[in-house]
């Protein structure tokens, strides 16, 4: 796997490893394997800065999020939560999350797509991150759960409405009210997993292949299409959604260099040469 890098350095990460399997792809690996990649509060803020940097980086178009070791992310570091109760942290923000949510992801808006490559357990906030990723590829070993109710808590990072929106109120109720583990196969049936990798070992390779397929496209088209999909997912009315997408993207997309290049390449029966998006 190559390790290319964009022109400007990313913000420092306390609990994640960064690499670049292709020039347009950022791979983020949560790196607390001994804690099943449970995230402390500092990591939420670090990752939020990272996703903003990713959105603003002109050479990157797709990100992939996965975990080191046997887990994707087991949720919040509850040992830190308990320690904070006994002795409040010196920095107040270390008691909470940024507006973009758990891992800077669970309530992220953003401009560019992120693929979750779920290599193991995705519990609590880990599952809530998956629910707000654009595409979810799961290992056959992947498991999903919202166990908060078993601990006297509730899933507070934005996952409940997203789960209802995708799976329906009855399925979401079973998942959230029982706290039980959900298999990757159930995730397929309940519409929060796109596909299961051919094997556990090929998960990352398959996610990168999909990322490269997206990264081959016009960055303008990817950003505008994702924006339209997100508007439809997050807004109530179809007509309102369509009007918002047209207002945000249509005039800026049509006649722009990437659109002209795409049409010229099609007519000339050649591969397009995209330029950096200005959307």
Given 49, 80, 148, 213, which residue is catalytic? 148
Given 128, 206, 213, 239, which residue is catalytic? 128
DSSP secondary structure, the chain, as one string = ------SSPPPP-SSEEEEEEETTEEEEEE--GGGTTPBPHHHHHHHHHHHHHHHH-TT--EEEEEESTTEEE--B-HHHHHHHHHS--SSGGGGS--TT-GGGTTT---SS-EEEEE-SEEETHHHHHHHTSSEEEE-TT-EEE-GGGGGT----SSHHHHHHHHH-HHHHHHHHHH---EEHHHHHHTTS--EE-SSSTTHHHHHHHHHHHHHTS-HHHHHHHHHHHHHHHH-S-HHHHHHHHIIIIIHHHTTSHHHHHHHHHHHHTS---------
271 belongs to the catalytic site? no
201 belongs to the catalytic site? no
Q: Which positions are catalytic? A: 128, 148
């Amino acid at each position: 796997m190559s390790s290319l890098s964009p022109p400007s350095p990313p913000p420092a990460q306390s609990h994640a490893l960064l690499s670049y399997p292709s020039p347009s792809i950022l791979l983020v690996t949560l790196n607390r394997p001994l804690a099943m990649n449970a995230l402390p509060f500092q990591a939420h803020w670090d990752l939020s800065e990272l996703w903003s940097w990713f959105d603003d980086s002109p050479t990157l178009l797709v990100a992939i999020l996965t975990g080191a070791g046997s887990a994707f992310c087991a949720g919040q570091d509850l040992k830190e939560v308990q320690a904070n109760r006994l002795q409040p942290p010196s920095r107040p923000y270390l008691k909470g999350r940024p507006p973009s949510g758990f891992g800077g992801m669970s309530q992220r808006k953003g401009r560019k797509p992120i693929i979750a490559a779920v290599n193991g357990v995705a519990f609590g906030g880990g599952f809530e991150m998956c629910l707000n990723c654009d595409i979810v590829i799961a290992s056959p070993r992947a498991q999903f759960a919202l166990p908060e109710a078993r601990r006297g808590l509730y899933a507070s990072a934005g996952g409940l409405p997203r789960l209802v929106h995708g799976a329906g109120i009855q399925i979401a109720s079973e998942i959230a009210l029982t706290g039980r583990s959900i298999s990757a196969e159930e995730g397929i049936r309940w519409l929060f997993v796109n596909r299961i990798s051919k094997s556990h070992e090929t998960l990352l390779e398959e996610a990168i292949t999909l990322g490269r397929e997206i990264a081959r496209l016009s960055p303008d088209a990817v950003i505008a299409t994702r924006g339209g999909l997100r508007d439809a997912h997050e807004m109530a009315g179809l007509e309102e959604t369509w009007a918002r997408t047209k207002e945000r993207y249509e005039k800026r997309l049509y006649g722009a260099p990437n659109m002209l290049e795409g049409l010229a390449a099609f007519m000339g029966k050649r591969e397009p040469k995209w330029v950096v998006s200005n959307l």
